[in-house]
């Protein structure tokens, strides 16, 4: 019969093994949850897909859906700098409608607003139909597909073709990267960040489009760029009066808070400082800033080499097999706009509604623009229920297309 001492030792070993298996199972379960969430966030909801298809069909069968936007007599206003110009770039018709509707309803002088909605070729007909059949008068809306910009050719932006066709990028986005991940050597937060960076939107031309605003809108002096996952809750006209001090980009800094996901970001959070080029050229403590609601002085921009710098660093990252930063448009923009950013009051732009379940509701109510950046978009089932109403209040559920596609039912 075994000595009690050895029995106790065996019991401890068995218990240790059980605990290790339990912790491993919990860890794997957490990673599986994050993976499922990633795919849920990347999928196109059935209702939104239905909306796009029905509106595209309407474009081909209904002359009213094809009417010129804006009407011919209003065309000169598209380049009139006494108006307030907004740019929205998206292939999500429902999201675009919320951005435009919320901005118009919050603006003190909507008759002075011009929206330039840019979409891709496959979504153009549906996007045009929506705004032709659902005007936001007295505001003016222009809908253009990227294929309609004569300047925006592969000859002028060859680096984007290289980005889209780069083998490492294709493998990164479409390969079996989850199965090959070493889960024992990463944290759930790091894993979630890597999954987020693999969103297909990061290699789409629509997402890179904001770096070409001075060329795309050659007659405009200043624009406000809005991401498609924002809601406007306050009059934005004072943004045109903000003193940018000769800088190009008015943006909210994201280095002033304590939360780990959104408002505590510096360059070290985005760049690989073990790469010699990054270590030589950048400071890890440099404050980061936010894309999503930016006031761009296009006149000041045209006097800089921001766009060329952006291209140059994209090429360097391709040469380095994407090892210089997390994929996305913000890291190269942080470099390109370095020294050209004017920090604006954080009340203009509240971020993180797609990340944080414990967002303070009163803070949300006070913000001029709220941003559902993160995976939990309000049009997805995984969106946070208590934050969704700030977005859905601008969805027209009486609209036949919205109703027949059962949006968010």
pLDDT at 67 over 70: yes
pLDDT-derived band at 168, boundaries 50, 70, 90: low
DSSP E strand boundaries for 192-267: 222-226, 230-232, 249-251
Q: Which of 5-19, 101-115, 216-230, 260-274 has the lowest mean pLDDT?
A: 5-19
Give the mean model confidence (pLDDT) for residues 126-133.
98
The CATH label, of 3.30.70.20, 3.90.1300.10, 3.90.550.10, 3.40.50.740, for the domain at 46-347 is: 3.90.550.10
In this structure, are strands 249-251 and 293-297 parallel, antiparallel, or unpaired? antiparallel
Lookup: tokens for 33:
């949850």
DSSP string, 266-292: BGGGTB-TTSHHHHHH--TTPBPB-SS
179 band by pLDDT with thresholds 50, 70 and 90: very low
Please count the other Cβ atoms lying within 10 Å of the Cβ belonging to residue 104: 20
pLDDT score of 194 more than 80: no
Model pLDDT for residues 240-259, shown as the tens digit of each residue: 999 999 999 999 999 887 77
Instruction: Check if the beta carbon of residue 129 is closer than 8 Å to that of residue 59.
Output: yes
Task: Summarize the confidence of residues 280-291 as an average pLDDT.
Answer: 95
């Amino acid at each position: 019969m075994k000595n009690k001492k050895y029995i106790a030792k065996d019991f401890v070993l068995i218990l240790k093994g059980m605990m290790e298996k339990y912790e491993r199972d919990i860890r794997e379960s957490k990673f599986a949850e994050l993976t499922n969430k990633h795919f849920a966030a990347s999928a196109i909801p059935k209702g939104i897909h239905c909306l796009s298809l029905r509106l595209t069909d309407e474009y081909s069968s209904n002359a009213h859906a094809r009417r010129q936007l804006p009407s011919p007599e209003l065309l000169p206003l598209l380049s009139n700098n006494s108006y307030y110009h907004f740019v929205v770039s998206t292939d999500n018709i429902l999201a675009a409608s919320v951005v435009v509707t919320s901005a118009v309803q919050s603006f003190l002088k909507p008759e002075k607003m011009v929206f330039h909605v840019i979409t891709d070729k496959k979504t153009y007909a549906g996007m045009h139909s929506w705004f032709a059949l659902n005007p936001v008068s007295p505001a003016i809306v222009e809908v253009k597909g990227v294929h309609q910009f004569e300047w925006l050719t592969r000859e002028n932006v060859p680096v984007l073709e290289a980005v889209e066709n780069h083998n490492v990028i294709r493998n990164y986005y479409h390969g079996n990267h989850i199965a090959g991940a070493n889960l024992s050597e990463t944290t759930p937060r790091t894993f979630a960040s890597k999954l987020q960076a693999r969103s297909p939107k990061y290699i789409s031309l629509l997402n890179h489009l904001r770096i070409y605003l001075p060329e795309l809108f050659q007659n405009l002096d200043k624009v406000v760029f809005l991401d498609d996952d924002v809601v406007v809750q306050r009059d934005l006209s004072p943004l045109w009066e903000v003193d940018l001090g000769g800088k190009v980009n008015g943006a909210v800094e994201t280095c002033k808070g304590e939360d780990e996901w959104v408002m505590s970001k510096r360059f070290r959070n985005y760049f690989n400082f073990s790469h010699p080029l990054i270590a030589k050229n950048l400071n890890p403590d440099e404050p980061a800033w936010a894309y999503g609601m930016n006031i761009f002085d296009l006149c000041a921009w045209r006097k800089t080499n921001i766009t060329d710098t952006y291209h140059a660093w994209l090429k360097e990252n391709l040469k380095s097999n994407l090892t210089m930063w997390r994929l996305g448009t913000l890291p190269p923009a942080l470099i390109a706009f370095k020294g050209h950013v004017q920090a604006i009051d954080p009340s203009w732009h509240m971020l993180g509604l797609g990340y944080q379940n414990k967002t303070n509701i009163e803070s949300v109510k006070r913000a001029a623009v709220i941003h559902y950046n993160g995976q939990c978009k309000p049009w997805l089932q995984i969106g946070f229920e208590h934050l969704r109403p700030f977005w859905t209040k601008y969805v027209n559920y009486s609209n036949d297309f919205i109703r027949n596609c059962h949006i968010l039912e």
